A = this chain, B = another copy of it.
Amino acid sequence: MTERYLEDLHVGDRFESGTIEVTENGIVDFAHDFDPQPFHLDLDVAKRSIFEGLAASGWHTAAMSMKLFVTGGLRLAGGSVGLGVDELRWPRPVRPGDTLRLQTEIVEVRPSRSKPDCGIIRIRNETTNQNGEVVQVFLTSLLVRRRPAN
């Protein structure tokens, strides 16, 4: 997989990820560690909750999406260093048995003001399930290296 530098990236470029299968154990284990609310831990409570069934913590969906991103089509030289996240939304619940996939689109490319050997790209990351329904979306800015002079 080619590592990309700032000069290789353009507004409108799109990248695809592989997939992750969501399991009941995965949902419950993550919730136990990081979001121990009854509706993420217990099937009966979940059925009677606003989620109407077991659903992954939003932070679990975010973490799985990061896995899809770093193992996906956009490999940045020096790695993916996030400067921040905006407009993170979870329009639909993530369920046991779902298969998640990430689509990444570059929405901005610019030089860094403070680091002359770097630039910043802004991307839109959209996570979808096996039905193509969006389960998470956010915008993020990443630090990207410029290609070194020969």
Q: Bound state CA distance, A37 and B78, in angstroms? A: 10
Given A39-B79, A50-B81, A78-B50, verify A34-B90 contact (CB < 8 Å): no
Chain B residues within an 8 Å CB radius of A70: 35-37
Q: Bound state CA distance, A57 and B58, in angstroms? A: 16
Least CB distance, A22 to chain B, in whole angstroms: 13
Q: How many copies of this chain?
A: 2
A49: interface (CB < 8 Å):
yes
Can you list, as one digit per residue, whether each of A21-43 has a CB less than 8 Å from chain B (1) or not (0)?
A: 00000000010011111110000
Contact in complex: A37, B88 (CB < 8 Å) = no
Interface class of chain A by DSSP: mixed
A11: interface (CB < 8 Å):
no
Contact partner of A82 (CB less than 8 A), chosen from B30, B58, B143, is B58
Counting chain B CB atoms within 10 Å of each CB, which of A60, A81, A143 scores highest?
A: A81
Chain B, residue nearest A29 (CB): B33
Can you list, as one digit per residue, whether each of A6-21 has a CB less than 8 Å from chain B (1) or not (0)?
A: 0000000000000000
